[in-house]
Structures are given as C-alpha cells and as structure tokens.
Amino acid sequence: MTAKKSGRLDLPPGDLGRADGRPATKEARDRERVERLTVAAFDLFTQRGYHNTPIDVLCTAANVSTRDFYKLGKTREKLMALVYRRVTRYAELCVLRALADAPENDSTQRIPLAIEAWVHAYTHDERYARLAYLESVGISDELEALRTEAHEVFSKVIRDEILRLLPDSDVTLESKLPVALVGACNELTRDWLATKPRPPAKALEDAVKNLYDVVLHGLRA
Amino acid sequence: MTAKKSGRLDLPPGDLGRADGRPATKEARDRERVERLTVAAFDLFTQRGYHNTPIDVLCTAANVSTRDFYKLGKTREKLMALVYRRVTRYAELCVLRALADAPENDSTQRIPLAIEAWVHAYTHDERYARLAYLESVGISDELEALRTEAHEVFSKVIRDEILRLLPDSDVTLESKLPVALVGACNELTRDWLATKPRPPAKALEDAVKNLYDVVLHGLRA
DNA sequence: GTTAATTGAAAATTGATCTTTTCATCAGAG
DNA sequence: CTCTGATGAAAAGATCAATTTTCAATTAAC
C-alpha cells in the first residue's frame, strides 16, 4: 500500500548487485545504463505517458547520454517492452507464488488467494496497473503480441485452477472462457483506474472475486 | 459476410443525400468533405493503421486538400473519434434493434439474439472489429473516454437484460459484473481478430454465448 | 607516461510530419 | 462583364523528435 513513489521496479530482485560504489566492467556499466533507463521509463511512461516522453527526457532522467542510448540499440518501444515484461512478470510471480503457497487440496481457497495476489500486484502501486492496462496499449504490433502473450499466461493459470476445482466442467483446452475472464479482469482494472476518486483496492478485489464466484457457480451446474 | 471491401460506413443511412451531381452550398460541400474524410479514415486506419496514416495520405484518399482539412478544424485524432463513434453507434443500433424486435417476455431468447446482433455488427466486416478494438486504443485520453462511454452503453444494456431475466439477482446498479462482461467480450473479439487463420464469426458468437450461459447459470443459483 | 578506449555534454544532422500560404483557375452574384 | 469567394495543386515554413557526430575530459591499459 505504501511504495507509491518508490520509482523502482520490484521484479529484478538479484542480478545486478554491484557491491562497492563504481562501475566495474564496460558490460556491467552498460547493464546499469539499461537498468536505469528501464526504471526511468517506468516512471515517465506512467507519469507523463508513453507518447509524451521524448528520448532525451528519458535519457536525462536515467543519467544516460543519448549517444549511449542508441549505442545500446534501444528505442522507446523496446524500453516499453522491457518495462512491460517486468511488470507482468512481477504479477505472474505474485500469483504463482500465492498458488504455490496455497493448500494443494483445499481448492476453494486457491482461487481467492490467487485473486488477492493478482490485485495486489497491480494495485500496491497504481503505476503497475497504469503501465500494463493503459500506457502499453496500442503502441505497436510487437507490444500487442507481448500483451497477448501475457494474457495467455494468466489464461492458462485460470484454466488450470478451474480444472483442478471442477475436473468435469467443459472448460477444455479449446474453451475460450479463460480468455474471457482475463479480459474481464483487465476491464475491471481499467474501470478501477478510471474511477475517481480511486476506490480502495478492496473494491477491485471484490469485483473480481464476485465474477469468479458467479462463473464457478455457473460451471458447477 | 460479404461487404468486406465496401469502404463505406454503414451507419449514416440518410442525411447527406445530394440528389443531382454537384455540390450545393458551401456548408453542404464541407459536410461532404468531412464525410469523405471519415470514410477514408475508416479505410486507412483499419488498413495501414492509425499511427501509419499521415494527414496528406488521408486527404489524398478523401479527395480533400490539406488546406481544407485544417480549415475544417480537423485533426487525425478528431477523425478517429468520428469514425469510432460511427462504428460503435452502428453496433449499438444493431443490438438495440435486435432487442426491440425480440419477444418482450421470452427472456431466454433476448440475450442470444442480442449477442448475435453484436457479433454480426463487428464481424460482418472485420474492419469494424479492428477499428473498435485495435486501432482506436491507446491514442489519447479523449479517445479513451469515448471508449469508456461506449462500454458503459453496453454495460447498461447487459445489466438491464440480466435484471429482466433475473430480477432477484444481486446485479444491482453498483455491481461491476456488467463491466466485466463487456471486457470479456472485448477480449474475445481481440482474440478472434488475432487468431490465424481467422475462425468463422460463429466461433466468436459461440464463445460469447457460452460465457453468458455460464454467468446466467451462476446468477440463478 | 603515453596511448587507446570510454565518457558526458552538447551541437549538428536528418527525416518526417504538420500547418500555413501562395497562386492560378473557376463559378456565381450583381 | 467584373468582382468576390471558393477551389485544387503545390510550395514553403515550422516543428518536433530521432539519430549521429564532435570535442574535451577522464579512465584504463601497457
């Protein structure tokens, strides 16, 4: 609930840990540049918007010269892809961890826990939702493909959990119900983002849970 | 199923009918310019994409000089808004007409009929779906507001029909279930658009109907 | 210590649009 | 017929962001 202004992306926990204070090798410095650019992009894209963020502003914020920016082979689009992946991976991680921790057998608990994790991932810092559901949309075909990919991941998780709970339901591999549910959650999140004043995250959580209650009920019959 | 290459927008049936062959008053000519621009925008935005359609290409296709374009106070964004409104109004009209024609009492028929009308509106010419669900997304805050508005219209229709069928359900005014269903349909349509080779429209129709079956079932319990 | 690579800062270049203006032509009003 | 306003075609100007290059300063390597 707090880290609203952290400016950091949660995901990359390890990896680029340079201990002392200065760069090490050229590769390490380049990696840090990319990292700073990614963080700055997350900030700026969610604050002033993707289309309103020129490269030089991005570079200034990241403390990277425009020359290095291009030497690194970056473009604004690629940066968005980087950020988008980070954000969705974070959400995936949250959900998968919640499911891994959830009781294997007590099926009725698993889905609510997953929903809570999912909602928290996108709402603990509003920028996550904004990035994933507003700013990254409609930029390019590649980005759309990334979005589709991410949706498929969640779609698969949903299908698995439904099947675990209701093995006899007709939610087979070719059923589009999981796709529909992913879209429903996306829209609920957008609605949450667009509602002013912003309702508590709990409202979104309840809406999603209610949706799943209804659907699971419907599948049982 | 046919009119794939019509290049015309279905909605504006009457209005600008100039009988003879030439322009009439200045206002009429301006109106025709806007109309030609709208049609050209629909074509180009769905074919080469919104971002890849410069003004001069648009103007050439519409047989309007760039000077007139600006004299008319147009921008690419405004044109997209015009086109988007036309497309969604057409879909709204189809659904509302279907519901008006449907038996007032035989509640179980109304929703499938509405779904068929909705699916047909967006799939009879793939460009409708493409415009509404791909090209118009992520352009500007104003466009997003338009999209939200359109979603609200459908959301309201869905709520009304659910309440007509299940007056005792808890789908009250503040329930987000209709919002979720609109999002679900959007995602199903995007999925349909992205699937290659393109499945028949019937596949989309079935997916939407199945979703509503499940949800209505769930609400009954 | 000298040389080569790296770096930051900023300027210069390029490319693509958007937007305005010009000019010659044409249609209709008086 | 003449004048005013409208029109098409094209040029000119303005803007903006992307990309490359320069230059001076710093760092690392030998």
For residue A173, the chain B residues in CB contact (below 8 A) are none
Q: What is the pLDDT of residue A117?
A: 97
Angle between helices B201-220 and B107-123 (to 10 degrees): 150
Confidence of residue A17 (pLDDT cuts 50, 70, 90): very low
CB A200 within 8 A of CB A103: no
Q: What is the pLDDT of residue A106?
A: 79
pLDDT in tens, B12-48: 433 333 344 555 688 888 899 999 999 999 999 999 9
For residue A151, the chain B residues in CB contact (below 8 A) are 187
Q: What is the pLDDT of residue A15?
A: 34
Proportion of chain B above pLDDT 70, given as a percent: 89
pLDDT above 80 for B10: no
Distance CA B180, CA B210 (A): 15
Distance CA B99, CA A106 (A): 43
DSSP-assigned letter for residue B200: P
Q: What is the pLDDT of residue B133?
A: 95
Angle between helices A141-165 and A201-220 (to 10 degrees): 60
B194 touches chain A (CB under 8 A): yes
**Secondary structure (H, E, C), B45-69:** HHHCCCCCCCHHHHHHHHCCCHHHH
Mean pLDDT lowest among A82-91, A169-178, B160-169: A169-178
For A161-205, the DSSP string reads HHHHH-TTSS--TT--HHHHHHHHHHHHHHHHHHSSSPPPHHHHH
Nucleotide nearest to B54 (CA to C1'): C17
Q: Which residue of A has its CA nearest to B175?
A: A207
CA angle A166–A167–A168, rounded 5-degree value: 90
Q: What is the pLDDT of residue B199?
A: 96
Rg of chain A, C-alpha, whole Å: 19
Distance CA A142, CA A219 (A): 35
Distance CA A76, CA A53 (A): 9
Distance CA B102, CA B67 (A): 49
CB B94 within 8 A of CB B118: yes
A187 touches chain B (CB under 8 A): yes
Distance CA A128, CA A91 (A): 9
Protein residues bordering strand C (Cβ below 7 A): A 23, 26, 29-30, 63-68; B 54-56, 65-67, 69-70, 75-76
Q: What is the pLDDT of residue B23?
A: 58
Proportion of chain A above pLDDT 70, given as a percent: 89
Buried b (16+ CB within 10 A) or exposed e, B133-172: bbbbbbbeeebbebbeebbebbbebbbebbeebeeebebe
Q: Tell if the CB–CB gap between B215 and A218 is shorter than 8 Å.
A: yes
Cis peptide bond N-terminal to A103, omega within 30: no
Q: What is the pLDDT of residue B5?
A: 44
Q: What is the pLDDT of residue A122?
A: 98
A181 touches chain B (CB under 8 A): yes
Q: What is the pLDDT of residue A169?
A: 85
Confidence of residue B201 (pLDDT cuts 50, 70, 90): very high
Confidence of residue B69 (pLDDT cuts 50, 70, 90): very high
Q: What is the pLDDT of residue B174?
A: 81
Confidence of residue B207 (pLDDT cuts 50, 70, 90): very high
Pick the most confident of A5-9, A25-29, B24-28, B113-117: B113-117
For A63, half-sphere exposure in the C-beta direction (CA atoms, 13 angstrom radius) is: 7
Mean pLDDT lowest among A22-36, A54-68, B160-174, B202-216: A22-36
| Average pLDDT of the segment spanning A146-152 | 95
CA angle A123–A125–A128, rounded 5-degree value: 75
Tokens (6 digits) for A216: 């699971």
pLDDT above 50 for A1: no
For B81-126, the DSSP string reads HHHHHHHHHHHHHHHHHHHHHS-SS-HHHHHHHHHHHHHHHHHSSH
Q: What is the pLDDT of residue B28?
A: 84
| Average pLDDT of the segment spanning A214-220 | 94
